[in-house]
């Protein structure tokens, strides 16, 4: 049995993570944190995105045993980004919701790194680029981009 120590959403946990067992599997199966979705299993869709030491990472391709930083999931970030979630709901950016946790995690990283300081056109392009790794089949992404940019502007005011 390979025990791995992780810090997830601010709490220290110990899990069994042999070999290449993915962080997504550990989060969902062992810790009951199901916001990070298992979809493609190849890191291509972004539905499993979490923050590791503040940076977005696809948890389906990240071996849990190799994680040395602090992990934050969409559930753990709920308090920090309640305004963003509300904006997503108000603008219809949520749609089916499958990809939303990954979108919200990426957006949280952008907001933390000072997205509000960029000029509006640069801000939109930065959000589009960052979210390009999050596949959404329900929207045209515009509501998502506008929501993130709007919250950045409000937080920077």
Instruction: For strands 3-8 and 55-58, give the pairing.
Output: unpaired
> 74, 9 in Cβ contact below 8 A?
no
Residues 6+ apart with CB under 8 A from 50: 23, 27, 36, 56, 57, 59, 71, 72, 73, 74, 105
Cα angle value 131/98/49 (rounded, 5°): 45
DSSP label at residue 71: E
Q: Going from the N-terminus, what domains does the chain have, and what CATH number goes with each?
A: 3-72 (3.10.20.30), 82-156 (1.10.150.120)
104/99 Cα distance (integer angstroms):
9
Cα angle value 37/141/50 (rounded, 5°): 30
* Total-model pTM: 0.91
Structure confidence by residue, pLDDT tens digits, 2-52: 789 999 999 999 999 998 999 999 999 999 999 999 888 899 899 999 999
Structure confidence by residue, pLDDT tens digits, 56-98: 999 999 999 999 999 999 999 999 999 999 999 999 888 787 8
pLDDT band at 137 (very low <50, low <70, confident <90, very high): confident
């Amino acid at each position: 049995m390979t025990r791995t120590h992780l810090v997830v959403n601010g709490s220290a946990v110990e899990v069994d993570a042999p070999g290449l067992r993915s962080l997504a599997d550990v989060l969902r199966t062992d810790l009951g944190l199901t916001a990070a979705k298992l979809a493609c299993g190849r890191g291509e869709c972004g539905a499993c995105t979490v923050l590791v030491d503040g940076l977005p990472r696809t948890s389906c391709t990240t071996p849990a045993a190799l994680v040395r930083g602090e992990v934050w999931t969409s559930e753990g970030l709920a308090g920090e980004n309640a305004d963003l979630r509300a904006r997503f709901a108000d603008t219809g950016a949520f749609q089916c919701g499958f990809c939303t946790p990954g979108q919200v995690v990426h957006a949280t990283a952008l907001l933390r790194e000072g997205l509000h300081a960029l000029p509006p056109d640069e801000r939109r392009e930065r959000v589009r680029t960052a979210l390009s790794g999050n596949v959404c089949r329900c929207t045209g992404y515009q509501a998502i981009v506008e929501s993130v940019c709007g919250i950045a502007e409000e937080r920077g005011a």
